[in-house]
Amino acid sequence: MKHVKPLNFSTSRRSFLRTGLAGPGAVGLLAGALPSAAFADNSPTRGDIDILRFLAAAEIIETDLWQQYNELGGIQDSEVPGGSGNPQYTKALKKLDGDMDQYIHDNTEDELTHFTFINAYLVSKGADPVNLDQFRILPSSTATGAQQIKRLTNLMQLTVDTTWWTRYRSRTKNPDFGDTFPPAIPGLLQGQFPAIPRSNHDLTPTRHIQAIANTAAFHFATIEQGGTSLYPALAQRVTNLEVLRILLSIGPTETAHFQTWHDKAGNIVPLTDPTNGLVFPDLNKSPFGGEDFQTNLIMPEPTVFLSGTLPVCSIIRPTATEGAAMAALKALTDDGLFIGQSQGFFTTLHDLATAADAAQREF
Ligand SMILES: [Fe+2]
Ligand SMILES: [Fe+2]
């Protein structure tokens, strides 16, 4: 019963904190007074399982969208099989960084392992894994390089929210205090735009395929900043330490992705798409520029956290836990990622998010 000791200590510590007692003697006394049944079972709670199931669904969705990016713009190998690559799209992405194809590949593989691991862990605990295969109904791009299979997500009609750009640059505001932020690319909120070539017709003219690559670059970071907030937000509702370890170990990899994409998004080629008027401004020049838009300010600026009476702190934001799963689902939906999906899909995702948000940390 090796696990009894740490559980014993942590439970008793909470007890003496509640009663105002302190010191090793108090710990031993109160621990001895607690019923042994309280320490007998260290399996995940119902709430832990509900959180993991929502995260598995989110990771399946991430995998589906990243696979589409990788088939057209990433490295094609056995780690992330399926596509054959699109030279024009890959070239446009590489205008932002010569290693874009490697980063896209690695992000895709990471998502594959996230959902595979979480589902396997659920099964190992006797819980149901998440399977969204019945909702693979959306069409693939017909551009050279993409597999012709049905998808969960739609990367061809995105309305990308780029407010994370100014949110992470603000030194005075925090979304957890109700603050709102202007988008870096206002045009991406004013229409539906492809982030992958929809067909080979999208491969020209050059400024059009570059605008598609620019859209993708911002969408990469939009997705990954969402995961960066989702994991710490839900971790606050986890009870079991091993489940907490899972969230604390996967969550920061989302942040590693976000940090990379934040840097690459700053390298977009300023231009106007001649086919639809979408403008990618120079973020270092007026009316942009300054600390709110400067492209090399890619590390989280310190800002207000928890209380205005405390000093500012460089933090992930938001991390409020109330309604975090539903907020993540709403953000993905508002981005247009599920345009064309069935009512059954939305009901399933809604139910998973509702259950995750209802989880409570148990003491
Ligand atoms: Fe992930
Ligand atoms: Fe991710």
Name residues whose C-beta falls within 8 Å of residue 119's C-beta, 6 or more positions apart in sequence. Answer: 56, 129, 130
Predicted TM-score (pTM) of the model is: 0.89
Q: Amino acid identity, residue 194?
A: P
pLDDT, tens only, 148-165? 999 999 999 999 999 999
What one-character DSSP code corresponds to residue 126? T
CA geometry: angle at 43 spanning 41 and 49, to 5°? 145
Å from CA of 227 to ligand 2 middle: 6
Å from CA of 12 to ligand 1 middle: 35
Residue 41 is predicted with a pLDDT of 66
Residue 177 is predicted with a pLDDT of 98
User: What is the mean predicted confidence (pLDDT) over 284-312?
Assistant: 96
13/7 Cα distance (integer angstroms): 10
- Provide the CA 139 distance to its chain's centre, in angstroms: 23
Å from CA of 193 to ligand 2 middle: 21
Ligand in nearest proximity to the CA of 261: 2
Cis? peptide before 318, omega within 30° of 0: yes
Å from CA of 179 to ligand 1 middle: 26
Percentage of residues in the chain having pLDDT higher than 90: 88
Ligand in nearest proximity to the CA of 260: 2
Take residue 258 and report the two structure tokens written for it.
């976000």
> Terminus-to-terminus CA distance in the chain, angstroms?
20
Take residue 156 and report the two structure tokens written for it.
């061809």
Ligand in nearest proximity to the CA of 254: 2
210/95 Cα distance (integer angstroms): 8
Ligand in nearest proximity to the CA of 66: 2
